[in-house]
Structure 1
Amino acid sequence: MSVLKSNKARWAMTGVVLVAGVLMWHRAPAEKGAPQAAKPALTVVTATLKSAQWQQTLQANGSIVAWQEAIIGAEITGVRIADVLVSVGDEVMRGQVLARLANDTLQANEAESQAALRESEAVLADASANAARIRKLFESGFVSAQQAGQAVTLENTARAKLDAQRARLKVSAQRLAQQNITAPDAGVISARNATVGAITQPAAELFRLIRQGRLEWHADVTADELGLIKKGMKVELTTAQGKRVQGVVRAVSPAINQQTRYGQVLVNLPADTELVAGMFAKGVFLAGEKTATVLPQSAVMLRDNSAFVFVVGENSHVLAKKIITGRRQDNLIEVVSGLSLDAQVVDTGGAFLVEGDLVRVAGRAQ
């Protein structure tokens, strides 16, 4: 019995060894094979920096104002306003009557001056005739030299009074002519204070006129930007309503405001723009074209307030590079620094990558 049990044990051990050998024989080829290659995390399209001619611009804010305003008042005071012929917004011509003053008092004053003039003429005629008669009597010895001198003095006095009365009549005629308040230039009425029945006062403003209807844009710019703006430069304005207007720089302020540290640029605007004085507008100064190195905006990502791109290395692993960006136009963005011209940048899909990821490049963006 002991011999039989020993034989069974040996056969069992032999079977285990044979099974283990077969398993190891089947497994050996797999272990000898090459290791499997890593799979790309993403298939990407790359882009490189390109040169583009972009318009160099400077942005500013400002207000629409009148080119020049004329303040119109009455040249004579103490006279009632009889009629007002224009209102705010009316276009007027040079010399057009804006308002009329009551002329009854003015006409009476002129008539009085004319009567006084005729009286002075009669007094002078009488004094001249009397002086001529006294001269003849003096030559004949019938009157004294003193009497002759008095006659001449009376004649000269009468002549002086006549001249003074002529001047008064001229003043009366001018006052009568000033009964009409007229426009000193063509333009648009921007303010009206004249009221029928009111009495004209010294230095009182009755109307305000935007001369020739011309408006301009006063832009506030920093000291650094002021040096870049030149007379004659083109400007594009955008109003709060979205209306676009083209203008031209008329003048550049030669000084900076000490409180605000801003300078002003005056921009001529074309007529018939439907703009209104006092409006706020944003503007862009077109400073000429300048070469820019650009990338598609889809290739640039923002993280922690910084811009960066993923650059594909020689081994197809991506590396994050921080860049400094500038202007944007359409779907492109300017790269100021931080990237070489030949760098292959991931165009799309960068948001799904992390530094060191393996990618497969499918092509280049056009």
Structure 2
Amino acid sequence: MPGWIHRHGRWLALAAVAAAGASWLHSRADVGKKDKPDVVAAAEPVAAAAKAALSVQTVKPQSGQWPMVISANGAIAAWQEAVIGAELAGLRLSEIQVNVGDKVSRGQVLATLQQDSVQADLNNARAALQEADALMTEARANADRARSLHGSGALSTQDTQRALTAEQTAKARLDSAKSQVASQELRMRQTRIVASDEGVISSRLATAGAVVQPGQELFRLIRQSRLEWRAEVPSADLLRVKPGMVAWATPPGGTPVQGKVRMVAPTVDAATRNGLVYVDLPASALGAGARAGMFASGRLEIGQSQGLTLPQTAVLLRDGFSYVFKVSDKGVVTQLKVSVGRRVGDRVEILQGLDANANVVASGVGFLTDGDSVRIVKGSQS
């Protein structure tokens, strides 16, 4: 009997636990049903809330005269480079007075040669001149006396002729001596190597103590410090380039330098089909960073044309194409694909795809997509 009571009590306890669990699950199900409408009711206002509009400023395209340019690249070179050398042979350089980069004036001494031998030759020539002058004085006196006694019978005809001939011979010797002095004085001046023009020394091969030869290059001089830009232009554009047009060359790491077209080459390179346009650069180009031998980029201004422009901030570059966002009266933006052209300062030329009276978003276009609603604020750009 006690064993039966014990087993019966355990079954009663298990039944009570099962009943309690069923009651708890039923109560949780009721709670879930009661809470579900509340969640839906809370989500409905969020879904119904209006999407916030982006505040933007608008701008209209502007029409104006824009320069027509041809982009070009080319080398910067010396306008004219003079080679300065020695005119005498067998003399040593005694002194070098300039170096590469020095500015010189016409006639300035660049170097000097040893003058000892030339000075000795000049002294000999001057002594020979004095001797010839003395002989000329004597011969002239004898000739004058012979002419005064002619016809008196005091001198024979032969003696008279001899005196006149001696005068002419002395005169010729005097002239020769004068020429020798002039020649030696010229050689003395040639011992001073001078600049043939004003400009900048671009190369120096002269070394003190070296023996020079006639025509040997000692210095190179950029005449008048002038450089030129040899712009390479496609042959199709050469006919539009005329002498006198304004051009701009930008040396690497320097500032743009304004020049003027001097001439257009009469030939075209057979390999590249490009022609050279020679642009004179001012002397100030050296201060702007231009150097002979540099490769510079630039442009040639060939005229002006009418153009429709927008600020560059209004144009979006996406997937290799340019877009603007036109704003309707209801504040909805429409994405328009446009073709762009020249760029000057902070403005870009619009070639196709946009009406001249359209209102477009002025900036912040990277945050917009087609069909977005925007709110136009005051202070619209123009």
Q: Provide TM-score, normalisation by structure 2.
A: 0.66
Contact 1:76/1:178 (CA < 8 Å) preserved in 2?
yes
| Of 292, 296, 309, the match for 2:308 | 292
Q: Give the alignment of 1:12-91 within 5 angstroms.
A: 49-51=60-62, 53=64, 56=67, 58=69, 59-91=71-103
Pair 1:339 & 2:349 matched:
no
Q: Which residue identity lines up with residue 264 of structure 1 in the other structure?
A: Y
Contact 1:226/1:263 (CA < 8 Å) preserved in 2?
no
Q: Higher mean Cα deviation, 272-281 or 51-60?
A: 51-60
Q: Higher mean Cα deviation, 292-301 or 76-85?
A: 292-301
Q: How many residues align?
A: 321
The 2-side partners of 1:65 and 1:258 are apart by 19
Q: Deviations over 1:71-124 (max 9, x none)?
A: 322343343322222211223333322111111111111111122222223333
| Of 201, 218, 224, the match for 2:237 | 224
Sort the Cα spacing of 1:132 and 1:301 in 2 relative to 1 into closer, same or farther, 3 A: closer
The 1-side partners of 2:59 and 2:147 are apart by 116
The 2-side partners of 1:176 and 1:124 are apart by 27
Pair 1:326 & 2:341 matched:
yes
Pair 1:240 & 2:252 matched:
yes
The 1-side partners of 2:158 and 2:321 are apart by 110
Sort the Cα spacing of 1:150 and 1:40 in 2 relative to 1 into closer, same or farther, 3 A: farther
- Deviation of 1:295 (Å): 6.4
The 1-side partners of 2:124 and 2:310 are apart by 86
The 2-side partners of 1:237 and 1:165 are apart by 59
Q: Deviations over 1:33-83 (max 9, x none)?
A: xxxxxx999967796751155753633323333344333223433433222
Look up the match of 1:283.
298
Look up the match of 2:131.
119
The 2-side partners of 1:351 and 1:63 are apart by 45
Please, what is the CA RMSD of the aligned residues? 4.1
Gaps of 5+ in 2: 1-48
Look up the match of 1:261.
275
The 2-side partners of 1:330 and 1:121 are apart by 80
The 1-side partners of 2:287 and 2:248 are apart by 16
Q: Which residue identity lines up with residue 267 of structure 1 in the other structure?
A: L
Look up the match of 1:273.
288
- Deviation of 1:319 (Å): 7.5
- Deviation of 1:228 (Å): 5.8
The 1-side partners of 2:295 and 2:182 are apart by 50
Contact 2:249/2:299 (CA < 8 Å) preserved in 1?
yes
The 2-side partners of 1:178 and 1:296 are apart by 64
Sort the Cα spacing of 1:40 and 1:258 in 2 relative to 1 into closer, same or farther, 3 A: farther
- Deviation of 1:290 (Å): 5.2
Contact 2:259/2:279 (CA < 8 Å) preserved in 1?
no
Look up the match of 1:31.
none
Q: Deviations over 1:215-256 (max 9, x none)?
A: 4444333453773667373x5543322x3144242x331444
Look up the match of 1:26.
none
The 1-side partners of 2:144 and 2:327 are apart by 122
The 2-side partners of 1:361 and 1:268 are apart by 53
Contact 2:244/2:262 (CA < 8 Å) preserved in 1?
yes
Contact 2:62/2:310 (CA < 8 Å) preserved in 1?
yes
The 2-side partners of 1:122 and 1:333 are apart by 89
Gaps of 5+ in 1: 1-38
**Aligned residues with identical type, % of pairs:** 36
The 2-side partners of 1:41 and 1:210 are apart by 70
Q: Provide TM-score, normalisation by structure 1.
A: 0.69
Provide the secondary structure at the position in 2 that maps to 1:261.
strand
Q: Higher mean Cα deviation, 120-129 or 313-322?
A: 313-322
- Deviation of 1:188 (Å): 2.2
Q: Higher mean Cα deviation, 324-333 or 160-169?
A: 324-333
Sort the Cα spacing of 1:273 and 1:337 in 2 relative to 1 into closer, same or farther, 3 A: closer
Sort the Cα spacing of 1:209 and 1:43 in 2 relative to 1 into closer, same or farther, 3 A: same
The 2-side partners of 1:273 and 1:309 are apart by 38
Q: Give the alignment of 1:73-222 within 5 angstroms.
A: 73-131=85-143, 139-141=151-153, 144-222=156-234
The 1-side partners of 2:289 and 2:333 are apart by 55
Look up the match of 1:18.
none
Provide the secondary structure at the position in 2 that maps to 1:253.
strand
Sort the Cα spacing of 1:297 and 1:54 in 2 relative to 1 into closer, same or farther, 3 A: farther
